[in-house]
Chains A and B, each alone.
Chain A
């Protein structure tokens, strides 16, 4: 086995050389000062002076070493890039920005102060503008695009310090480096805003759903059950004295109970299709009742189907049902193939028909928006294309929890 040769590290040599020099620059003058400047007398012999010098040095060299060691280490090994220092300053400044302060204003001010520019302007894609300082008359304007990965998220506009004096190449390079950091910051801020908006929408949707359920129960089912109770009381009073009228009332009650049962079924279906629990996702899709019996439905799926979350199951079921409904209603297709593929991270649902009218060009009225929203709610994607025969090919890809 070949021995690995340790490469010579010049920084190690420099580090220890500096440490030795610093200790010597302290130790030698102190020793010489004590032993040579203090006069030797009968009481203070040379041995005493030497001992005193050694004791003083022994007690003070360690603190001097402890003080110098990290500083020399930093001097020798720390990266000495002014760009890094300025990026660090900007990061510190942003971290100390309170939520009430405008982040763009803080970024503009930080860039102006770190690069020492008289004027900085920031624009984002939404048109928001933040400025700092005042431009110098006649000074050259430099405009730098702020990108996050390959997406433009804004513009950085600065002016030079003196009229007709452009920025130096190092300053331009520094501004580009800062713009990259700003791009990351703006993207993170936008994600945070989107997340907050999603949370608010989630809460709003949940409360709206609760309100709808409450309304359905309170205005629909509630009065129906109350009416049934009163009618039952009336039947109880009539059953001995007027059995014919009681029988008629009982028939009416049976119809009312059927209506209430249907109402409950509707409420339950809106919450979650019961066939998903009774048959499972694939069997529920296979059991779609097609209005047009000339269209053949074919379902291809893994067997056994892996366990999916309730949200994904409902989304796949509703998207498939909407797509199949569109095929039957609009496409004039003879065959509709629904395919479900599942891997470790995604579920892919595709619905393909051989109809003569493609739905790819439609933008509304056929539930496409509904399908897109259901996919987007779960962080998935939706695409629709026209196949060669004229039919439609819909692909929905949903992420799965690990």
Chain B
């Protein structure tokens, strides 16, 4: 891990954020969007506008992942913001959600998002900074 360059770390962070955003979209938002507003509002889950907000948030996460992959400053900052919010909401899901699978996923997401924040803020190791980029 000490030999990991900052650009590689950012790429890993981008992949994690992208994966979690796509998972969230595929498992939760897209099925709810497909069911329609009436069905979602009638069910016990969150209201339809929350589903739309969640979907928009995941799209933003995908854009942020693209920016972080290219080591753009705006992308890194956006990934940090998204990861911070997602780790807090993931902690809530890990504690309060009735589904055990969702609680486990929430706990894993918290750990992963904290890891993403670490990778985004991680500095270039000195051993790599002294050698010319290959």
A33-B91 in contact (CB<8A): yes
Question: For the complex, is B105 an interface residue (Cβ under 8 Å from A)?
Answer: no
Minimum CB–CB distance for A1 against chain B, Å: 39
Identify B121's interface contact among A14, A28, A75, A89, CB under 8 A.
Answer: A75
B-contact bits for A75-87, CB 8 A (1 contact / 0 none): 1100010000000
B132-A25 in contact (CB<8A): no
- Knowing A71-B123, A114-B132, say if A25 contacts B87 (CB, 8 Å): yes
Question: For the complex, is B80 an interface residue (Cβ under 8 Å from A)?
Answer: yes
A75-B132 in contact (CB<8A): no
Question: For the complex, is B4 an interface residue (Cβ under 8 Å from A)?
Answer: no
A18-B80 in contact (CB<8A): yes
B92-A96 in contact (CB<8A): no
A110-B132 in contact (CB<8A): yes
- Knowing A22-B84, A25-B113, say if A68 contacts B132 (CB, 8 Å): no
Question: For the complex, is B133 an interface residue (Cβ under 8 Å from A)?
Answer: yes
Question: For the complex, is A37 an interface residue (Cβ under 8 Å from B)?
Answer: yes
**CA of A25 to CA of B109 in the docked complex: distance in angstroms?**
12
From B96, which residue of chain A is reached at the shortest CB distance? A36
User: A74 to chain B: which residues have CB within 8 Å?
Assistant: 123
User: A33 to chain B: which residues have CB within 8 Å?
Assistant: 91, 94-95
From B107, which residue of chain A is reached at the shortest CB distance? A33
A93-B117 in contact (CB<8A): no
A72-B73 in contact (CB<8A): no
A 47-106 contacts with B by CB, 8 A: 67-68, 71-72, 74-76, 80, 89, 92-93, 96
Identify A26's interface contact among B80, B90, B114, B130, CB under 8 A.
Answer: B114
User: B92 to chain A: which residues have CB within 8 Å?
Assistant: 32
User: A72 to chain B: which residues have CB within 8 Å?
Assistant: 121
A-contact bits for B6-27, CB 8 A (1 contact / 0 none): 0000000000000000000000
A-contact bits for B73-113, CB 8 A (1 contact / 0 none): 10011001101110110111011100000000000001001
A 10-34 contacts with B by CB, 8 A: 14, 17-18, 21-22, 24-26, 28-29, 32-33
- Knowing A21-B85, A24-B84, A72-B121, say if A114 contacts B77 (CB, 8 Å): no
User: B121 to chain A: which residues have CB within 8 Å?
Assistant: 22, 67-68, 71-72, 75
A 99-128 contacts with B by CB, 8 A: 109-110, 113-114
**CA of A213 to CA of B110 in the docked complex: distance in angstroms?**
87
From A70, which residue of chain B is reached at the shortest CB distance? B123
Identify B95's interface contact among A21, A36, A89, CB under 8 A.
Answer: A36
A-contact bits for B52-79, CB 8 A (1 contact / 0 none): 0000000000000000000001001100
User: B132 to chain A: which residues have CB within 8 Å?
Assistant: 89, 93, 109-110, 113-114
**CA of A239 to CA of B118 in the docked complex: distance in angstroms?**
109
B88-A29 in contact (CB<8A): yes
B73-A75 in contact (CB<8A): yes
User: B110 to chain A: which residues have CB within 8 Å?
Assistant: 29
A 234-255 contacts with B by CB, 8 A: none
B73-A29 in contact (CB<8A): no
User: A114 to chain B: which residues have CB within 8 Å?
Assistant: 132-133
From B124, which residue of chain A is reached at the shortest CB distance? A85
Question: For the complex, is B134 an interface residue (Cβ under 8 Å from A)?
Answer: yes
From A37, which residue of chain B is reached at the shortest CB distance? B95
Identify B91's interface contact among A14, A17, A32, CB under 8 A.
Answer: A32
User: B129 to chain A: which residues have CB within 8 Å?
Assistant: 92
A22-B91 in contact (CB<8A): no
Minimum CB–CB distance for A50 against chain B, Å: 15
**Known contacts A21-B81, A72-B121, A96-B130; can you find 19 more A-B pairs with CB under 8 A?**
A14-B77, A18-B80, A21-B84, A21-B85, A22-B80, A25-B83, A25-B84, A25-B88, A26-B114, A29-B90, A29-B110, A32-B92, A33-B94, A33-B95, A36-B95, A89-B132, A92-B129, A109-B132, A114-B133
A-B contact pairs, 10 of them (CB 8 A): A25-B113, A26-B114, A36-B95, A67-B121, A68-B121, A71-B121, A71-B123, A76-B77, A80-B73, A89-B133
